[in-house]
Amino acid sequence: MAWCKLPDVGAQCYVLGMERENQFIGQSGAFLDSVERASRAAPLRRPVLVIGERGTGKELIAERLHRLSDRWDQPLVTMNCAALPETLIEAELFGHEAGAFTGATKARVGRFEEADRGTLFLDELGTLSMGAQERLLRAVEYGEVTRIGSSRPVRVDVRIVAATNEDLPRAAEAGRFRADLLDRLCFEVITLPPLRVREGDIEVLADYFGRRMAAELGWRDWPGFAPHVSQQMEEYPWPGNVRELRNVVERAVYRWDEWTQPVGHVQFNPFDSPWKPAPPPRAQEAAAASGSTTPAAPAPADYETIADLRAAVEAHERAILEHHLGRNRWNQRQTAKALGLTYDQLRHCIRKHALSE
């Protein structure tokens, strides 16, 4: 695993190679600081907490912590604590003996024993039940686990990396998370920055995902994104972070037919459609009873700041043309129909704003 420059995307952009399809890509200081902190903590055997919003790369940080440690050739075992019902979490973590509960027909080792001499990555740690937290505390403190239905503890050598998008100190204050367990897990806390604060990384990531998708589709060249699409991506808040950006970019590229032209349209919400099913009447009534309202319309432009009416109108007209040309994949007849123009009128507008360039 090594750092390498990503060609044609910026002199200071780096790709962190991993043994998986996803990779760390970025150039912002916030991003590089988080990765550097993970690199410094990797050789230690202490537990690490990884905090971050969904889609920020928490699992990739866990893999980096494992691959750069002296446990790199031992198992990296992952468990999503939110994916299992509360009744099965302890059995999954610590294992069980035959007959320990209904359905336990044979003995089974838990994730701790599977990860012996390696790393155990606990995703969505904040969803663990209090009972599981208590047993996890003993495993962290004494390095031993006891299978359900057994009275004999088993010694394990496991390095724990845990991840969550919750505020665990606040959860501990509220009594939803054991404060003593939090104390033992927070030797190092790595908080991953959301994409919206990673300056310059949206362009870098979009270009990387776009190139990769273009290669998958067999395009002979990568035309990049039209300026208005790049601006839209920079202004979007990205609640799903890098995972959402990847989906948006790859969807835009695969829907774009003209590989010789820059990608001119992007759809952030794949569920957005004029034929989207309306909620059932009861749901609408419930929303009205709870005081919920539909989102407010966007605020009108600040007309007080307009000093040149002609330039403002021209800019607005150009933005409308760019949007509809992108939405219709530069099919000019469809665009003209969508805007209520004749084909000749649309061609005049395209020449007027030099959009054909």
Condensed to tens digits (0 to 9), the pLDDT of residues 259-276 reads: 899 999 999 999 887 777
Confidence of residue 258 (pLDDT cuts 50, 70, 90): confident
Give the whole-number percent of the chain exceeding pLDDT 70: 86
Kind of pairing between the strands at 48-51 and 188-191: parallel
Is the separation of the CB atoms in 164 and 126 below 8 Å? yes
Rounded Cα distance, 112 and 145, in Å: 8
Q: CATH number, domain at 53?
A: 3.40.50.300
Residues 122 and 175 in one domain: yes
Per-residue pLDDT tens for 110-121? 899 999 999 999
Residues 208 and 337 in one domain: yes
- Mean pLDDT for the stretch of residues 38-49: 95
Give the helix/strand (H/E) hosting 189. Answer: strand 188-191
Q: How many domains does the chain have?
A: 2
What are the φ/ψ torsions at residue 51 (nearest 5 degrees)? -115, 140
What is the DSSP track for 5-41?
A: E-TTS-TT-EEE--SSS--EEE--HHHHHHHHHHHHH
Give the closest residue to 57 by CA, choosing from 244, 245, 243.
Answer: 243
Q: Which domain holds residue 48?
A: 43-192
Residues 212 and 325 in one domain: yes
Residue 164 lies in a domain: yes
Residues 174 and 101 in one domain: yes
